Chains A and B, each alone.
Chain A
């Protein structure tokens, strides 16, 4: 065993010292994480202001109101105007309705005890069906204030 070159004992280690490199890399990761923060997501909705000139808007039968009805505990029902739909069929129905319309406006009304998530899903489906403007119908809007 006279020629144990670069054996276990002795001999200069040829390994690179990676610790400073790892430090630098980690700092870079942090810099990147800071400059790309999570952009918030959301759903655009409108709450129309009352008209200035107190004249009631012309009634038309083309208004689409999607209602989410229920008491929050049992499964809620979704209606487009008077027709029952489910969350799955809603998108297809809305696409059909708005396919030929120029003004893609829709209103969403929901019962008091409905969890917000269901309303958010309805609005989301409406946006994916191509409805640009989703109006929320709140108590004051219904009362015309």
Chain B
């Protein structure tokens, strides 16, 4: 055993070391998981799905007025729960122009009575255009509009 043969060349790995890639991907995944809820303005609810909704890019703007109606009838203005009676005043305070559209994001199983009352309260603030936010139904064959 005088001469120990160094045998490193025999087991050179020629496959890619994927560990750093996996690390990076996991970090990205975490970043996405953290950031995605933040991109959503307003209180999230399960929106109704319809076939041909219009694009409403304004609803994504920073100053968009979003009113959410939850399934149980709770009303949110932006991200904050709001008393239906106080909604009119809050919308009035935030309303920049008369012609501004107020977006209503109602849960698909919310009772229409609650949604209509909410719309009524928004209307009392002087708004006459409402954007009812919905999702596009994911059916193949439904042409986008």
Residues of A within 8 A of B (CB): 9-10, 13, 15, 17-19, 22-23, 26, 30, 33, 37, 39-49, 68, 72, 110-121, 123-124, 127-128, 136, 138-141
Contact = CB atoms under 8 A, between A and B. Distances in A.
5 closest residue pairs by CB, A with B:
A112-B113, A41-B53, A124-B50, A117-B108, A117-B48
A116 B112 contact: yes
A17 B116 CA distance: 61
A115 B54 contact: no
Contacts of A49: 123, 126, 128
Contacts of A115: 108-112
Contacts of B108: 115-117, 120
B contact face: mostly helix, strand, loop, or mixed: mixed
A138 B116 contact: yes
A23 B20 CA distance: 9
A123 to B, nearest CB: 7
B81 interface: no
Contacts of B21: 19, 22-23
Interface residues of B, number: 59
Interface of B: 9-12, 14, 16-18, 20-21, 24-25, 28, 31-32, 39, 48-57, 59-60, 69, 101, 103, 106-113, 115-117, 119-120, 122-124, 126-136, 145
B16 A120 contact: no
Interface centre among B16, B32, B50 (most CB of A within 10 A): B50
Contact of B55 (A9, A23, A39, A46): A39
Contact of A9 (B9, B57, B107, B116): B9
Contact of A124 (B12, B116, B124, B134): B134
B54 A41 contact: yes
B112 A112 contact: yes
A82 B84 CA distance: 33
23 contacts: A40-B55, A41-B53, A41-B54, A42-B54, A42-B131, A42-B132, A43-B131, A43-B134, A46-B129, A47-B119, A47-B130, A48-B128, A49-B126, A115-B110, A119-B112, A119-B115, A120-B50, A123-B132, A124-B51, A128-B145, A138-B116, A139-B117, A140-B123
